[in-house]
Structures are given as structure tokens and as C-alpha cells.
Structure 1
Amino acid sequence: MGPGRDKLLEPVGGMPLLSLVIERAQSTGCPVFTCLPSPAHPRAALIGDRATPIWVPDADDGMGVSIRTGITALPDDIDAAMILPADMPELTAEDLKTVLDQYQPGAIARGTGAAGKPGHPVIFPRSCFGMLARLDGDQGARGFLAAHPEKLQLIPLPARHALTDLDTPEAWAAWRAQQSGE
């Protein structure tokens, strides 16, 4: 995003994106855990008691590190975990509930765009936690998902909700222009 700008602090719907995503995740009724770089990071002030923080001091090393750290910090009684990147503003509370409601225990449930392209969120059963605990780098679980298509349960979500991922100032500007109908 460039110096001094954090994509998760970008305003969406009158609040920082991270706050909005946590609010949507909370609406599912499931416990919410949020991976953050440190208690001193500006994002940490946004979670309050709405989510359990999981500190990832080496978060800059990539998504795989955050997933690995988050999965290994989960309580033992968690049977599955939804991986929900916080930079996807089009994923609604209803989308999250749709994926949860359709999730079949043991499968890997993955939201898709309306045309079927796989995206997020992804629910992994506990049987995948060992693999997730070995992730590294910035590829996340992409390689594991590609190697195990038989485990996938694809769940269509509206339009591009499962796909819209905003990582650059240009992507944010284009998305905002589209939202305002320009």
C-alpha cells in the first residue's frame, strides 16, 4: 500500500476495514480470532474484546506465517477454522453464514465467485491443521488446496464477493470508483 498506509485501516462503510470484517465474522456466532503483528500495532486497538488476538511478530514474512501461527494458537476444542483474509471488503456476513451453513465436516469448504472461480473464505477441518501448521511464505494454503481437489467443497457466493482482494492503492481507488458508480 505504500508508506504510512495500511489496507486494513482503509475506511469501508464508515469504519476501518478490519473492524468491518470482525463485525461480519462475529455475526456468525463463532469465536473470532484475529492474527495481528503485535499489541502495539495500530490494528490491535480495533479489536477490543470482539476477537481474540493472536500475535504474529513475523507477519511480514507472509500469509503462510500468519496462518501457521493462528492455527497453532487455536484451542484444542476447535473442530474447524475459517480462514478469512481481512482485505476482502465484499465478503458479507451473509456470505460467511452461507459457507458455514453449507460446510460438510471433513471437507474443505471454499467460497467461489458467482462464475465458480475459487476464492475465500476457506474452512479447514481439524484434519488439515497439521498441514496448516507447516505453512511458510506468502502463498498461504494454495499449494495444499491445489494438491487435494477431492477434499474441496466449492460454495458459490454472489458476484465477486469471494474474489475481491484489495492490496494496492490503485486497487482501492478502482474499487471505490466502482462502488460509487463512476
Structure 2
Amino acid sequence: MTDKTHSAGILLLAAGNGLRFTAAGGKGNKLLAPYADASGQLRPLLALTLAQAAATGLPLHLVTRPQTEEIMALARQFAATVSVLASGGSGDSIAAGVQATANWRGWLIVPGDMAWLTTADYLQVAAALVDETSQARLMWQDIPGHPVGFGSAYFAALSALQGDQGARQLLSPQRLQRLPGHAGVIKDADLPRP
């Protein structure tokens, strides 16, 4: 059993506005849009992401916007802790989530719409965080994917992120472990289902 107070955890970013999704004709909150699970049953997109993340046994924290009761309820269903803020972008969301989980020994950062990540994907990145200065991310055909993992040495830098500047600027070509992934590590739901 994983010691949840001294392990890396999964930080799910669910505080975006979904502007590309709605601009492309999507209706409502992208994270609540129905998508088929492995058995073909339609479930909210975020529920698919949460199910794979929760199955790892790693600590799970979700950052979302105010007045998103359905999203907060889904997070609780999967035993995720929650931070709420009117985020100005992924930098704000990451900073809030990292500050709320200061006891973790690392963070696996992933947008909430990455429902095609598997439990094994999360565990592969977590296993690569062997010390406090580790960085790791999954790749598919040389395309950077998610999750992106950071060891605990990046607490201050992650906590200082702002606006729409995500954690990409903190990645070091010398430190970053590029791990083999599959097409799902780069697939998100910025566009409505065809």
C-alpha cells in the first residue's frame, strides 16, 4: 500500500474555461461531456480521467473553479481533495494545487480532459521520480505528453507559476526523462466528439 503522505501524487487541472471546446461547438462544461468508458457506458469525461488516476493508489488532488459543484462531487466520489480558485490559467492552477499538497514528494501534473491516460501511465511517471530533482514525462512519437512529473525540489518554482504559463518552462533537457507512451498520452478533449 502506498504511503499517501510521503509519495508523489497526481494533480489534476480542472479549472480551465474550455474555450477551444465551446468555440468548436461543444456544449456546457467540457469535463462533464459524456464519453464512453471501456465498456461503452457514457460517463462524464472527468470521471474517466479520475477513475484511471484513482486506481493508482497515489494521492489525488483536483483544482477547479468556483461554482463547479458537479466537478467537486466527482472529485469526492474518487477520494480526491480539491482546491477552488478562479484560475487565470494553468500556472495559477498548478501553483494552487502544489501549495495545497506541500507534503507530497512530487507531482504528476495532468489536465482533467486527458481521459485516455491509463493507470499504468501514471505509475510509470511516478516510478521515474527517483529523487527530489527528478523530472519525467510520457512521449508519443517524439510529441510531449502527460502526465509531467516533478520531484519535490520543484515545490517553490511550481508554487510561483502564474497566469497561463504552465510548468513547461521548468523542464530541463538534461534532467527530463522522456518515457515511452501511446497515443492516449497526447489526446485531450479540446474538440467535441465527432
What TM-score results when the alignment is normalised by the length of structure 2? Answer: 0.77
Counterparts of 2:186 and 2:165 in 1: how far apart (Å)? 16
Q: Secondary structure in 2 aligned to 1:87? A: coil
Q: Quick check: 2:115–2:188 contact (8 Å CA) kept in 1?
A: yes
Q: CA deviation at 1:85?
A: 1.1
Q: Secondary structure in 1 aligned to 2:115? A: coil
Q: Once the two structures are superposed, what CA deviation does each residue of 1:30-80 show, in whole Å capped at 9, x if it has no partner?
A: 111111112654311212252111112x22x1111100110111142x110
Q: Quick check: 1:116–1:156 contact (8 Å CA) kept in 2?
A: no
Gaps of 5+ in 1: 174-182
Q: Secondary structure in 2 aligned to 1:48? A: helix
| Number of residue equivalences | 164
Q: Determine the structure 1 residue equivalent to 2:122.
A: 96
Gaps of 5+ in 2: 1-20
Q: Determine the structure 2 residue equivalent to 1:155.
A: 179
Counterparts of 1:7 and 1:20 in 2: how far apart (Å)? 13
CA change 1:139–1:168 in 2 (3 A) is: farther
- 2:71 is aligned with 1:43: yes
Q: Which amino acid is the alignment partner of residue 28 of structure 1?
A: T
Counterparts of 2:125 and 2:144 in 1: how far apart (Å)? 13
Q: Which amino acid is the alignment partner of residue 32 of structure 1?
A: L
Percent identical across equivalent pairs?
Answer: 34
- 2:100 is aligned with 1:73: yes
Q: Once the two structures are superposed, what CA deviation does each residue of 1:129-178 show, in whole Å capped at 9, x if it has no partner?
A: 11111111223112222xx21120111112x2211122133xx32xxxxx
More helix by share: 1
Aligned counterparts, 1:1-182, within 5 A: 1-2=21-22, 4-12=27-35, 13=37, 14-38=42-66, 40-49=68-77, 50-56=79-85, 58-59=86-87, 61-76=88-103, 78-105=104-131, 106-113=133-140, 115-145=141-171, 148-158=172-182, 160-169=183-192, 172-173=193-194
More strand by share: 2
What TM-score results when the alignment is normalised by the length of structure 1? Answer: 0.82
User: RMSD between aligned alpha carbons?
Assistant: 1.8
